[in-house]
Amino acid sequence: MPRRRPSPAVYRRRRLVAAVLALLVVALLVAGMVMVIGLFSRDDGDPAAGGAVATASTPAAAPTAAAPTDAPGASASAEPAPTASEPEPTATGEPEETTEPEEATDPAEASEPECDPAEIVVEARTDAPAYAPGQEPVLSLIVRNESETACAVNVGTSQMEFLVADPADRVFSSADCQQAPQDLPRVLEPGAEEVATLAWERTRTTPGCESVEAVPEGGTYALTTRLGDLTSGATSFVLEG
């Protein structure tokens, strides 16, 4: 006997059931994917899940020096060492009052009286009695304490002058073109002396340091030195022509 074919209504029910089952499978697949994505998202960005939150809009802080630790070789105290600009606290917690350091005082000004001009001798000296053409004379100023006690005297360039003259003219003065003269207090013991020297380039000068083209000719010249108000006697020397 031939099999009886199902009716069209049965076919429709079967197709409906198959469609519903297919939809359920798709829904289950979508739900599974959502759960997996949620798990990955929570692991990577959720603070509660232990993930690190990345913030692209906030720049990383610049590295700084590490604070002292108790590791071997490190300082046992984290308190910074006091610096010269910060006074150390006292037992009461208040900083001690500090005073500005006093300027150094020259020993000549602090311990010895100024020399009595009557006890000071200034002399003029040259290193040779005569000089060949082109040879530069070396001029010396000597200051000597002839008192019986030590005293202070200013032997700086602000007080010195080397003066060269011939019988008829003022030829050279170290004060004419001097720049930045300075004071130099010194203590002279009894009988002690200070010596200053100057190599003369055999040039002429004028007060105000005006340019002079003429040069000293051969002949006899006289050197006189001065220290403050004290002036030496004249010392003669010869420039050979």
In this prediction, residues 118-135 reach a mean pLDDT of: 97
Given a cut of 50, whether residue 233 has pLDDT beyond it is yes
Determine the average pLDDT of the residues in 219-240. Answer: 97
pLDDT score recorded for residue 30: 63
178: region left, alpha or beta (phi > 0 left; psi from -120 to 50 alpha): beta
- % residues pLDDT > 90 (the chain): 51
For 216, residues 6+ apart whose C-beta sits below 8 A from its C-beta are 164, 166, 171, 172, 202, 203, 204, 239
The pair of three-digit structure tokens given for residue 220, joined into one six-digit string? 């006899």
Report yes or no on whether pTM surpasses 0.75: no
Q: What percent of the chain has pLDDT over 70?
A: 58
Task: With residue 128 as reference, give the H or E element that holds it.
Answer: none
Confidence of residue 19 (pLDDT cuts 50, 70, 90): confident
User: Edge-to-edge strand order for the sheet containing 138-145?
Assistant: 120-126, 138-145, 193-199
pLDDT reading at 67 higher than 60: no
Mean pLDDT of the chain: 74
**According to DSSP H, which parts of the chain are helical?**
8-45, 107-111
**Contact present, 191 and 197 (Cβ < 8 Å):** no
Q: Which pLDDT does position 37 carry in this prediction?
A: 55
Domain map (residue ranges) of the chain:
9-47, 109-239
Whether the per-residue pLDDT at 221 is higher than 90: the answer is yes
143 pLDDT higher than 50: yes
Query: Has domain 109-239 been given CATH number 2.60.40.2360?
Result: yes
DSSP secondary structure, 154-166, as one string: E-STTTEEEEEEE
CA distances to 44, 52, 55, 63 from 48, rounded to whole Å, are 10, 10, 16, 28
